Amino acid sequence: MHRPGDGRDERDQRRAGGADTLANRPSRCQLGSEGVPVAAVVGGAIVAVLVGLALIVAGLSARRTNRARERGWLEATGEIVELMPGDINAARLHPVARYQREDGSVGQVRDSVATQPPRFRVGDRVQVRYDPADPAQAIIGAGGAAILPSVLIGLGAFVLVLALVIAAAASAVG
């Protein structure tokens, strides 16, 4: 004899091939008490793979653009003459360098990246790269734009690896 709610009805229904058999249930990853359908996890991983690849491509493109832009630029030794407050956050400081160009004229450049603490101190000697055809185009050292491609490539690689690990784990469960 069995009592209602003791689970025998459900077991009997599963054995008889009822609507609630394990074969009829969608595969789920145990990511909580209910779980998440494997298809949703794999779909999310596919989107993450695409985002990771897009970040890597954007980083490589930015790196190539930077290199092409700076091809033919000249180098000069400069000196940090000022630390200017940032436009958005006055606590962050932009280094300003003064340097002598190849033609003898003096140029000045404000770095595009403001940092706190500052990367340089007043009086520090730095390398300045400038475009001889347009001396207003100059950067201190590698310039802030050189950092962005590396960040994009690194972030893209991280997202890509994470997505592949999640997809592999989900497919192993499902």
Q: How confident is the model at residue 8 (pLDDT cuts 50, 70, 90)?
A: low
- Confirm if 170 and 38 have CB atoms less than 8 A apart: yes
42-46, 69-73, 93-97, 115-119: the lowest-pLDDT one: 69-73
Which residues, 6 or more positions from 57, have their beta carbon under 8 angstroms from its beta carbon? 156
Q: What is the pLDDT of residues 107-163, one digit of tens each?
A: 999 988 888 898 899 999 999 989 888 888 888 876 556 678 889 999 999 999 998
Q: Which CA distances in Å does 104 have to 73, 107, 128, 135, 156?
A: 16, 9, 15, 12, 44
Give me the residue spans of the domains in the chain: 30-66+149-173, 73-143
3-state secondary structure 59-111: HHHHHHHHHHHHCCCEEEEEEEEEEEECCCCCCCEEEEEEEECCCCCEEEEEC
Q: What percent of the chain has pLDDT over 90?
A: 30
Q: What type of residue sits at position 83?
A: L
What integer pLDDT is reported at residue 173 of this predicted model? 67
- Confirm if 131 and 72 have CB atoms less than 8 A apart: yes
**Domain 73-143 class, CATH top level:** mainly beta
Give the best-scoring range by mean pLDDT among 10-14, 64-68, 83-87. Answer: 83-87
To 10 degrees, the CA torsion angle through 29, 31, 37, 39? -70
- The residue with greater pLDDT, 174 or 81, is 81
